[in-house]
Amino acid sequence: MKAARDTAQALQRIKVGLTGLAAVILLIAIASAIMRTATREAPAGAGSAKTELVDNMVTGNSIDDPTGEPLAELGVAPSSSNAAQAAGRGR
């Protein structure tokens, strides 16, 4: 009796193990197919730079502009002209 129970339990463990292994292999296959599809697609505008975009980036981020305060333009920090006006009013 005990041998039959041990055999049935061993067979069930093998079935559960093989089912889990099959599920993991299926998930890896699906992930591999998704990654292969994603890397096969060419990026938009590959091989050529859009001159309008590059020009806008260059003119927007001019290093030579002494008044350019990007943090003040974003509203993160006060600009130096606002700080000078506030100091003038306090006197």
Q: What is the pLDDT of residues 21-59, one digit of tens each?
A: 999 999 999 999 999 988 876 666 555 666 676 666 656
What average pLDDT does range 16-22 have in this prediction? 97
d(CA 43, CA 20): 37
Share of the chain above pLDDT 90, in %: 32
- CA dihedral (22, 23, 25, 31) in degrees, to 10, reads 160
Closest CA to 73 of 63, 85, 61: 61
Residue 68 contacts residue 62 (beta carbons within 8 Å): yes
Give the per-residue pLDDT at 60: 54
Q: What is the mean pLDDT of the chain?
A: 76
Query: Can you give the pTM of this predicted structure?
Result: 0.41
Most confident of 6-10, 38-42, 63-67: 6-10
Residue 77 contacts residue 71 (beta carbons within 8 Å): yes
